[in-house]
Amino acid sequence: QKTEQKTELNTENDLTTTKLSKNILKVIYNQNEDTEHIIIECPVLLNETLAQIFPDKPKKSEKYKTILILNFISTNTEMSSYSLKTMELRDTLSFQFVEWTKDILKSIQKTGSWADCIDPRSGHPVNSSRGSTVFVETDDIPITNFCSIVPIGCCKALRHHKWGTKIFFGLIVSVTKDPNDIIKIIETQDY
């Protein structure tokens, strides 16, 4: 069973967060509260990037909205460090995330909506044709302002408002007439 919870998003730019809070459709936690799904309307800047990643994605129109399901999964491991343990955990969580999304994507598509997810290992779409660019979570997700970036030498890591850098991130993208269909599907799928 999922729990719904309003969340205070602690970001460095409160003005931007206030503007983006209008885009939040729902925040859902799993029953253990170690997985957070933030369902939002896609920001314009990110929508342009997604069009390059997903060449098959329908264009946004007055009838259709691009919806993002930002999935933050809490881990016991510091994901900002580079180690064999971190890499193995990331591979395991990536595989689990892609497997978890299979039924979700089918359910979303049954509503007449388009949907796909990003393979966290490669940054490429799982089911769609590959576009001219890849998704880079540390470059693209900060646009949503639901997490911040931690510089680590020549690399970067995501910092979640609640779990810090002990997180794994996965993204589902949908183009739909009715975002409530997406919300209902996510509410019934436990990660």
pLDDT in tens, 51-97: 999 999 998 777 899 999 999 999 999 999 889 999 999 999 999 99
The dihedral of CA 164, 170, 172, 178: what is its sign? negative
Which residue is listed with tokens 């459709």?
25
- Number of C-beta neighbours around residue 59 at 10 A: 9
Q: Give the chain's mean pLDDT.
A: 86
Mean pLDDT of 140-157: 83
56, 80, 81 from 45: Cα distances, Å: 18, 26, 29
pLDDT at residue number 4: 46
pLDDT(6) > 60: no
Angle in degrees, CA 18, 19, 21, rounded to 5: 65
Which residue is listed with tokens 């359910």?
107
Q: How far apart are CA 66 and CA 60, in angstroms?
A: 6
Residue 26 burial (10 A CB sphere; 0-12, 13-18, 19+): buried
Q: How far apart are CA 97 and CA 171, in angstroms?
A: 9
At 61 the three-state DSSP class reads coil
Which residue is listed with tokens 């129109």?
61
Please tell me the pTM assigned to this model.
0.87
Query: Confidence band (pLDDT; 50, 70, 90) for 22?
Result: low
Residue 31: enclosing H or E segment and its boundaries? none
Q: How far apart are CA 172 and CA 115, in angstroms?
A: 7
